[in-house]
Structure 1
Amino acid sequence: MLWSAASPAAQPTETNQRDGLTIIKERCVGCHIAEGNDSFSRISHQRKTPEGWLMTIGRMQNMRGLSINDEDRRTVVKYLADKQGLAPSETDGMRYAIERRLNTIKPFEQPFSDMCARCHTGARIALQRRPAQEWEHLINFHMAQFPSLEYHALARDRDWLPIAMKQILPQLASQYPLDSKAWTDWQATRPQAQSLIGQWSFSGHMPGKGELFGLMDVTNAGGDAFKVIMKGQYADGGPFNGEGSAVLYNGYEWRGNVSIDGVIMRQVFAASKGALEGRMFDKSHDERGLDFQAAQQGTQRLLGIQPGYLKAGGEAEFTLIGSGLEGAPDFGKGVEVVQVLEQTPERIKARIKAASDAAPGLHAISVGSLNGTSLAVYNDIASVKVVPEYLVARIGEGGGSTPKVQGRFDAEAWGMGADGKPYRIGVFPAQWKVEAFDERAKEDEDVKFAGTMQADAGVFTPGDAGPNPARKMSTNNAGNLKVIAAVNDAGKLLTGEGHMIVGVQRWNNPPIP
């Protein structure tokens, strides 16, 4: 798998003496013509994320016979991602793909959606920049590499190539051009890696496990490389500790590998003005991941509150997380701070109480002059949503090398605010089960064969891959299931439903899906 073998977040080495330009001149000029000023045909007319450049080099290896070792490949990815990357604003709304949020449903305009985002995410295209001629080359590459493209089930219903050339090509050239003000401005102002050295306060949430917080120490390991040590804990007291390394690309693209309690987790973050935000996920199971945000020591930022909700008339302990936290915490009208139990610049632990007549809705939180997060106060839960609403899990193993892909869900409680509008209360504990999605799934006994749901955690583990003699026609363990979460609100049981397809193995798993 390309992502595992040559991830841009791989362990940096201090013995590398070769630079990316030298390697390109040695390995690439047999096909790519030197154009002067360290520019090369095709290569110098594209901009991409580190993962995008990694995929390009992998394709040259697989399809064009490029011979390059892992260390040189990492060096070239770093060189190109720095020299021809994307400005932060150019990745807005598309980071879900590089953060491996594989159940994200992102709408795109027509005809782009049907023409391009049927076979892979639209983000794979939106996370690169080319002039019109290069976009034309990409369309031609698709036709050459996939000569039956126009006759595929999802393309033969239209005149694919003329639409691609006359409609999609101008759209891509206009929407995703090689040259942009955002990129020019970013090159002139992007910060140095040294600005990220120091201690970071972080918080996160992992579906099936819960909230976590802690401190991350970042020290320099030479150039744009870092050593990372993390010390934290989950809300239930479980540890979240580990260490590893990271590399900064293009002034803000943080990629790390950190061993957390024996599990290698990748870090895909965007750095911005003393903040890190993104996702950490298991190297071997990217569905097992957590939302992550961090604030650097020396900045003032309120990251969030754990837990994020309180019932009117209730009293409980809460933890505020951030950096530079100074002053008394305030939770707004109707919410009283009973006692501050602990206070540091990174964390405030307090016992708070909501009045029985506190207005339902989101109450803005402040600590001194800081704000930016809120506490959800509620009287009753109006509805429960299963998140994600639609998910694809995958069978695997069963004697094969392809791993299973779990389904991991949260139960979101929603309330009705004093203004009559719905608002998100937060993730609640729930009891989970699966049912047949339709009559066909019931007839095929998908609930019996497709896998098992962990009732108290919302984690679904699919069945084994391969033929199952116990099923009709010895088919595999795929299935079509409803996911049902039941939340207990003071004795009242509310349920929410989601949809999960348990599909076959994930055979193609590129860095950008």
Structure 2
Amino acid sequence: MIVSPSTVSGSWRFFPPLSRVTKVSKVGFCATLLLGSFSVLAGGAHAADKSVDPADWTEVDVGIPVTDKLTTQRCGSCHTPDAKGNLSRISWTRATPEGWAQTLKRMVKLNGLSITPDEARSVVKYLSTSHGLAPEEAEPVMYFAERRIQDETIIPNDVLHQTCASCHAFAQPMSSRRSHREWALLQNMHKALYATAQRTYETPAAGGAHDGGAKAETQAQVALAWLTKNAPLHTPEWAAWSPSIRAPNLAGKWFVSAAFDGHGRFVGEMDLAAKTAGSDEFTSTTSLKSLDDGKVVTRKGVGLVYAGYSWRGTSQGEGGDPARPDDIADKMRETMWFAPDQAKSVGRWYWGEYHEFGLDVTLIRETGAPMVGAVWPNALKSGAVGVQIHLYGAALPASVSVGDVDFGSGVTVKKVASISSGEIVATVDVGAAAVAGSRSVVVHGAMLPKALTVYSGIDYIKVSPDTALAHLGGIKYGKGYQQFAATGWSAGPDGKPGNADDFPIRSVPVSWSLAEFPTVTYDDDVHFVGKLDPASGLFTPNVEGPDTQRRFMRNNYGEVWVVATAKDDKDAAGRPLVGRSYLVTTVPAYKRWDQPEVSE
């Protein structure tokens, strides 16, 4: 969300919202103003669009009472309370911390809400918990809060793509739950603020039903029906979760496994301590060890947990190199989703001007029982002999025999070389006929699913991300970097690449280079967009323009191929495997959709 170390200590800071959310909608004019739970006019029903069936403006759902005194004081002057404790509009909406923070900022910006930073923080905290999402509702859209760029797979049809996902990620509306009336009012707000929404909504839906055989349903009507059915205010998930919301019991030690594109894997430990007994605010101390070079970074931070499962925090590493934008000792924002049983957590810790750098993080609670959290290397080639495998975890047994370690059929443990409570080193042989694919690893009864991949060969390379966005900067605006990584893939049992049976194997050592993407014959983008580190795959964009050395004094924007050429892996003809990614380098994000009224 929106938490910084200063947030937990009492001041309110909003992080800049997303400028690149998903590859479906990286840049949208209305990208971060649209989620809100209120119309431009606080009055609600009387502001309704009369072209919509009046029944849409009659609230029939049971509201969720607002029980927080401060929220009632600050919001109740515009949002009318009723005898049941409901506040108009608010009691018929549920949203993520990001959604409620965005709504509050818009109330300040457009409706003149007067609220202090501490009060704003408290109101968002209450609403995100008591009027939030259940864990099962939030999990599918966590990528939105985690500032990930990815293809959205949750858009159900073309109508929802046009009405909701053409300006912003579809995860934005799906980060809330609303009554039928509230979804209708949200559509009305869009039409009031954005002319493009008005045109889109009134377009007839292809294949839509007809009213009396004459008038086709509009896209707005189809979208409203879908959202009412699939994202209603009251759901079985919320009904099961809301009675059990309590202060999170997260204090203790957690095993950390993390991956950072271009920098490999990390393991370590995170120690969480509640600020006070029963608190939802925590301090953290984390150690991260690189499995590539053994370097250890210690980080200290703070975090706040919403609704009993949704972590938002920040941390800062010790030391570090300020000249390196990809340094993992940099200040990071942490977004984590804790499983309802509070035994595991997954999320992203990210940083950068455009949140472009990030660690994919998994936490596993240390309970005192043996636990395996990571295996390295995590891929073995069939026929390999005498390979040392490191198993990382917690409370590992002091005595382990070769029979206690199981990597699945075809992988034979020859000896256990060393043992400690956090690491076991085993030497293994891999049979030439070992079945390829992902498999679980078991140590003395403790199992880590899909921890190891056995493969016969690397058939092709994928570069991630396969489409990428970088931003010029360095003079007045910050640079938007892009980190690339190359992964070797198997074509699967059918031997045909690009099919569903393909599977990833491991990172591949490559040499990185740029190649022209031929859009305009004279533009020579490869010479102007920036530099790609041939060893690390880190792309550093050029400065913002105009550039006097370029034709027509254009800016340094452009399109190029990012090419990864394998150092060791070859195709059937003996040529190095090659993968590539499409990179767009664009101008800075001159406008950030964030209001300073409730920031520091």
SS in 1 for 2:149: coil
Matched, 1:462 2:529: no
TM-score scaled by structure 1?
Answer: 0.90
Check the 8 A contact 1:139/1:164 in 2, yes or no.
no
Q: Which residue of 1 aligns with 2:509?
A: 429
TM-score scaled by structure 2?
Answer: 0.77
**Within 5 A, what are the aligned runs for 1:440-479?**
440=520, 443-479=522-558
Q: Which residue of 1 aligns with 2:389?
A: 318
1:104-144 Cα shifts (integer Å, max 9, x gaps): 44351221012210100000011100001000111110111
Selected match of 2:257 from 189, 199, 203: 203
Check the 8 A contact 1:20/1:78 in 2, yes or no.
no
Structure 2 vs 1, CA of residues 164 and 495 (structure 1 numbering), >3 Å: closer, same or farther? same
**In structure 1, how many angstroms separate the alpha carbons of the residues matched to 2:451 and 2:281?**
35
Structure 2 vs 1, CA of residues 329 and 190 (structure 1 numbering), >3 Å: closer, same or farther? farther
Check the 8 A contact 1:266/1:283 in 2, yes or no.
no
SS in 1 for 2:158: coil
**Within 5 A, what are the aligned runs for 1:4-403?**
7=3, 11-13=7-9, 21-106=68-153, 108=155, 109-150=157-198, 155=200, 158-159=203-204, 163-190=218-245, 192-193=247-248, 195-222=249-276, 223-235=279-291, 236-261=293-318, 262-272=329-339, 273=341, 274-282=343-351, 284-298=353-367, 301-314=371-384, 315-326=386-397, 328-371=404-447, 372-398=449-475, 400=476, 402-403=477-478
Structure 2 vs 1, CA of residues 342 and 397 (structure 1 numbering), >3 Å: closer, same or farther? same
SS in 1 for 2:172: helix
Structure 1: state its 5+ residue gaps. none
Distance apart, 1:325 and its partner CA: 4.2
Structure 2 vs 1, CA of residues 292 and 218 (structure 1 numbering), >3 Å: closer, same or farther? same
Indicate the structure with greater strand content: 1
Distance apart, 1:84 and its partner CA: 0.7
Q: Which residue of 2 aligns with 1:412?
A: 487
Structure 2 vs 1, CA of residues 58 and 342 (structure 1 numbering), >3 Å: closer, same or farther? farther
Give 2:430's aligned amino acid: A
Give 1:231's aligned amino acid: S
**In structure 2, how many angstroms separate the alpha carbons of the residues matched to 1:486 and 1:93?**
35
Stretches of 4+ moved more than 6 A in 1?
none
Give 2:297's aligned amino acid: F
1:325-379 Cα shifts (integer Å, max 9, x gaps): 4563211222233443443454333333323443433343222223312322223
Check the 8 A contact 1:392/1:502 in 2, yes or no.
yes
**In structure 2, how many angstroms separate the alpha carbons of the residues matched to 1:15 and 1:54?**
14
Distance apart, 1:382 and its partner CA: 0.5
Structure 2 vs 1, CA of residues 474 and 456 (structure 1 numbering), >3 Å: closer, same or farther? same
**In structure 2, how many angstroms separate the alpha carbons of the residues matched to 1:366 and 1:88?**
29
SS in 1 for 2:9: coil
SS in 1 for 2:536: coil
Query: Mean alpha-carbon deviation: is it higher for 41-50 or for 257-266?
Result: 257-266
Structure 2 vs 1, CA of residues 368 and 157 (structure 1 numbering), >3 Å: closer, same or farther? same
SS in 1 for 2:113: coil
Structure 2: state its 5+ residue gaps. 13-65, 206-215, 319-328, 496-500, 595-600
Structure 2 vs 1, CA of residues 352 and 196 (structure 1 numbering), >3 Å: closer, same or farther? same
1:164-203 Cα shifts (integer Å, max 9, x gaps): 432111111111000011001012334531x211001111
Q: Which residue of 1 aligns with 2:588?
A: 505
Check the 8 A contact 2:202/2:219 in 1, yes or no.
no
Distance apart, 1:157 and its partner CA: 10
Distance apart, 1:148 and its partner CA: 4.8
**In structure 2, how many angstroms separate the alpha carbons of the residues matched to 1:379 and 1:95?**
35
**In structure 1, how many angstroms separate the alpha carbons of the residues matched to 2:352 and 2:3?**
10
Check the 8 A contact 2:468/2:584 in 1, yes or no.
yes
Query: Mean alpha-carbon deviation: is it higher for 138-147 or for 58-67?
Result: 58-67
Structure 2 vs 1, CA of residues 139 and 8 (structure 1 numbering), >3 Å: closer, same or farther? farther
Structure 2 vs 1, CA of residues 359 and 509 (structure 1 numbering), >3 Å: closer, same or farther? farther
Which structure is larger by alpha-carbon Rg, 1 or 2? 2
**In structure 1, how many angstroms separate the alpha carbons of the residues matched to 2:381 and 2:558?**
38
Check the 8 A contact 1:295/1:323 in 2, yes or no.
no
Q: Percent identity of the aligned residues?
A: 29
**In structure 2, how many angstroms separate the alpha carbons of the residues matched to 1:134 and 1:423?**
43
Q: Which residue of 2 aligns with 1:438?
A: 518
Distance apart, 1:208 and its partner CA: 1.9
SS in 2 for 1:39: coil
